[in-house]
Structure formats: C-alpha cells, structure tokens
A and B are shown apart, each in its own frame.
Chain A
Amino acid sequence: MKIIVPIKQILDPSGLSFRRDKERMFINREEYIIDPGSRAAVEAALRLKGDEDQVIALSVGKPQAEDALREALAMGCDAAYLLSDRAFAAADVSVTARILAAAVERLGGADLVVTGRESGDTGAGQIGPRLAEALGYTQVTDVYALAAGDRGIQATRRWGKGYAAVEAPLPAIVTVAPEAFTPRYPHGARIMSAYREWDVTVWNAPDLELAEAALTPLLAQRGESFPPPLEVGEVFRGDPDSIARDVIAALRQQKAIA
C-alpha cells in the first residue's frame, strides 16, 4: 500500500498569547511545529504500515517546513517532499489542495491519503475532501479508528450525534481526528538520521506544472477580530431551580458549554 500524508507546519501555539482586551495576538516565542492534526495523520498512517507499505509525507510551505517533514521522517515515514515556491505564498485552502493534488499525481497517485481533520491554526478542514475530489478518490472524514483490509479500509467516523462504521475501497482519502491517534515519539537515532542522512526532495511550481491560474486564491481575507473579554464575577443568586436555567443559558451564550 502506498500511503501519502500531507502535513502542515504551524506556529507553536504555546509561544503565542492572545489579549482580548488589547485585541492583539502576541508572538512571545516564534517556533514552528508539526500541526497536531498532521502528526496524528502520520501516526495513523504509520500504524497501518506493514513491511511492504510505503508512507510518504508532503508539505506545502516555506523552506522552514522542511523541519516538519524531517520530523515525519524521524517518526517513520519513508520519504518526504517539500512543495515550496514563492508563487505559493498567497495560497488559500483551494490552492493548497491543487498543489497537493499535483504532487500526488506526480508521485503516481496513492492507495490512501491521510490528513488531519483540520489544522490547529486556520482550521478550515477542507483539504481532505478537496483533494479527494481533485484526485477522484472516495473520502471518509473525521475518523476515530482506522484499519486496512484486503478490500480497502474500515473506519469509524463521527456521524450524527455519535459515530458510524464505514468501509471504503481504495483509493481513498481519510481525515483523522487529532485526539484519536496519539503520535509516537520519534526514535533518537531516526531524529539524527533525518537530518544527517536522509533527504527531503523539494518541488516548486514548474516541477508541479502549476500555472498561475491554478495558484490564484478563491478566498480573500477581510478582517480579524477577537471575542469579547470574558467577564468575571457574573453573580447568580436565588432559588436553585430558577437560577439553574439562567446559568445554563449564560454558559451556552458564552460558548462555555455546547
């Protein structure tokens, strides 16, 4: 089985702080990490990998995304490709999907493509299905359990108010829930080898035969905003039965509970 795992590198959220009162995001420490969803996807792919299988990591990003790919190699991937070009700088999620589709096609297609359900920063959650449509593969999103059999994959995905078990033939695209696949720690020796012995292949726009039209984003950003600062000390007094309803309503309104 040939498994391709698109991954994303994001700013480490633990180095950021958000001041709602100042309506600003502060970068206290600028470090980059593999997106947790991507890491879960690498883990899910590696769990399926047998001796005859191949897991290939891809990432659309700036040159520093190479670190995320080397981490994927250290975790156990067999090969890694960085898709990087100045022309990709303005990419929105639809452009990223097109770049990934071109790369998958250049790699000769895949049996299975595994991505995170959504990324920890922009969180659009669109790459998986967009890629599936572009490649003509079937798709199973928001997966919590994944197994591969002779006829394809068995997945348990979130559905309705609970979960559903589905089977799908290959080729297929699966997006995984980040919390469902605890990623392994990469072995120390593999970390060293990932930088000292193994290569990350870099492809740019001409390598992928992507014309300018394909790289034009469909969405435009129109603004940034912050949720209002949480109020402290909203007091509810009175008879438990009546205030209970008000408390639950307040919690729902402030999005503290569903």
Chain B
Amino acid sequence: MDFSFPREYQLFRRMVRDFCQNEVKPRAKAIDREHTVPHDIVKKAAKLGLLGVPFPQKYGGVGAGETGYCILAEELGRVCSSTATVIGAHIGIAAMAIYLDGTEEQKQKYLTPLAQGTAIGAFGLTEAQAGSDAAAIKTTAVRDGDHYVINGAKVFITNGDIADIMTVMAVTDPALGAYGGITAFIVETDTPGFSIGTLENKMGIRGSSTAETVFEDVRVPKENVLGQFGAGFLTFMKTLDIGRASLGAACLGGAQAAMEASMQWAQAREQFGVPVATKQSVYFMIADMAVEIEALRSLIYRTAWLIDTGQPHILEAAACKLFGSETAHRCIDRAMQIHGALGYSRDYEIERGWRDQRITEIYEGTNEIQRIVVAASLFRPYGVRIPT
C-alpha cells in the first residue's frame, strides 16, 4: 500500500499552496471586510487552470481528478473560505453537473469555458420552500416549440449574480414528482428574463455572493436539457454526492489553519510565567485538533481515490462533508478559546475563521441530510428504506 501522493500531485499541491499563500492569503481580510467577490484572484486562478482542476484536458481542464480538486479546496480553505466557496461552487457543482451528465456538444460548448475560467458557473437548485426537501422545488420548465420556458426563483445561489452559466433544476411534469418530473437545464444568464433578486447579507464567507436568481419566461433551447429528460433529480444527486468530498477538503484546510495558528500563538503567549502551550488544558486541545485532522485527511483523500477510480463513494463523500464540517467547527472553536480575547477581535483572523466555518454544517446538504445519506447507504443492502 502506498499512501503517498503521486509525484504530479505533490508538485500540484506545491504550486497551489504557493498561489494561495502569495496571492490569496494577503487579501483574505480585505475580501471579508469589503464583502466583495475577489474577481482578480479568480482570474489569476483561471490562468493557471485552477477553475477546471478535475476535468480532462480536452475540455480545458487540468485532468487532476477529484484528488487534485480536493488539494485545491484544502489549500484554499486554509487561507480564504470566501475564495474557496466561489471557486468550489463553480467547479464542484456548476461545472461538475455538466461534466457528469452533459452530451459531448454540451461539454464542448459549456464545460470548456467553465474549466478555462472564461465563464463562471452557478448551480440552481434551492428555493424558498425547498432546501433539504429539494424535491419540493416549484420552478417550472414548459415546452414551447424548440425551447423550454423557465419560470420561478432560486435562492441562496452561490455565484448567482456573477455566473455566466447556470445549471438549473426545474419541474417539467408536476404529476410525476421528484422521480421523472424534474429536469436539469443549462441556462446562459444573459438570456432575457433572467435577473438577480436579493443578495444575502451573511455572517461569514462574505466574499462570496449568495443571490436570489429570478426566471421570468426564460427561453432555453431544447439542446440545453442536461442529462436525461425527467431525470434531473438523479443529475443533481450525483453532482451533490461528489461535491461533498471537496467541501470536506476545504474544511480540512480551515481546521489545519486553525491548529497552526493556535500552535504559534500558544508558544508566544505567556501566562503564569510559561508559554500557555505547556499547559495541559491547551495542549490537550491542540492534540485533539491534530488527531481529528489526521482522521479527516485520510478520509478525504481515500474518498477522492474512490471517486477517481470509479468506485462507490456515496457514504464516504457524505462522511467527508459531515465529519469535515464538524471537525472544522471543533477546531476553530478550540482555536478561539486558545487565543482568548485575541480570538474575539475582528482584527485577527480567528473570528473570521469562526464566522466562515459555521455555514459548512448547513450548505450543500445540511449535516442532518448527510446523516440520512449515510444511514440510507448502510441500510440499503438490508432493504430498509430510510425516509427523509
């Protein structure tokens, strides 16, 4: 068994880490404070192929698979959750859906610009009344000649207001319900009828935009049906399943950063005549962080390997997201405690990390949904159906 990364991934990680440390990290504080999407960073990343890491080179990607993508997510997660979210939504769900279920023409036409970063992507599923209950979406797509006409509104869409291309789930047959009645579409956002509604004012990841996207008689050519007509549910389940692993990787990066900051501070801060790092209450916290991070790291990259080798991975990917987000939570929380009052100051990165982390237990399928996915996966061979 060889647990080391193949050498191209080692070089890839070094490049990504250098990029994140030199180009992204110095900007992280300002991105959060100014509540703006770092377009310049996204452009620089695109120039290095980083907006298409998992996709094959023939579609303008890097060809580094899920493993390479998790490396990117981890390194971005270490320095700036906002940037990680912008790029993560673009690669992990928007472009990924087209990669998984698109026709060759659709991949050439849409996946390639997304992978090259000349277009930005968003994934439109969630609606006001349909979060965890994704099947309850009400946006409709009605056939009219050679087009489908989409009406409805999606909420909490990452990159919603900056996307050029959006993969949108709409109801094509209300009578059939989730299985058979929902279809996925590729929508170009400059189509008339598409507009942006509310922009969310979030506690964290403030450098990513979370928007309401409104569809008023948006006409989409029939060639833009993504995947099988009526099988949209399967498309988005598949996409979200894979997206979870890289989310866990971003959490891994955040947890790692929290631990490293804690170690640095604990050595410098002296109380009672000694560095607080020598106090058991503190070093036990750091040890716990290290153990969880080791476990998470192994989980993430084994899951990435399962995905890259075409093996079943649904339980593992859900575990990545679940365990990753909760580990990140515990680690940043411990980090804040170790930093004391300094951790509470808005001038230092810990409180930003604390605010940025909380959403990881909520988005991309709440942790409750993840537990359902894990349980369903476990009980499936026994014929026991786990209801939502």
Contacts and interface: CB of A to CB of B under 8 A. Distances in A.
The answer to A–B direct touch (Cβ < 8 A) is yes
Q: Is the interface of B mostly helix, strand, loop or mixed?
A: helix
A193 B7 CA distance: 12
A194 B49 contact: no
B18 A191 contact: no
B63 interface: yes
Nearest to A195: B8
A186 B16 CA distance: 10
B7 A188 contact: no
A192 B62 contact: yes
B61 A189 contact: yes
B62 to A, nearest CB: 4
A188 B62 contact: yes
B388 to A, nearest CB: 38
A157 interface: no
Contacts of A194: 8, 11
Interface residues of A, number: 16
Interface string B1-25: 0000011101110110011000000
A188 B18 CA distance: 13
B57 A191 contact: no
For chain B, the bracket of interface size reads 20 to 34
A187 B48 contact: yes
Nearest to B53: A188
Interface string A21-58: 00000000000010000000000000000000000000
B6 A188 contact: no
Given A187-B48, A189-B61, A195 B15 contact: no
Nearest to B18: A185
A187 B62 CA distance: 8
Interface in A175-218: 185-189, 191-196
Contact of A185 (B10, B19, B68): B19
Give the 3 A-B residue pairs with the shortest CB-CB distance, closest first. Answer: A188-B49, A188-B62, A195-B8
B19 A191 contact: no
A161 B341 CA distance: 50
Interface of A: 33, 67, 70-71, 74, 185-189, 191-196
B64 interface: yes
Contact of A191 (B12, B47, B61): B12
Interface in B282-301: none
A149 B10 CA distance: 38
23 contacts: A67-B7, A67-B11, A74-B15, A185-B15, A185-B19, A185-B48, A187-B49, A187-B62, A188-B15, A188-B52, A188-B68, A189-B49, A189-B62, A189-B63, A191-B11, A191-B15, A192-B8, A192-B57, A192-B62, A192-B64, A194-B8, A195-B6, A196-B63
A74 B68 CA distance: 16
Nearest to B14: A33
Contacts of A196: 8, 63
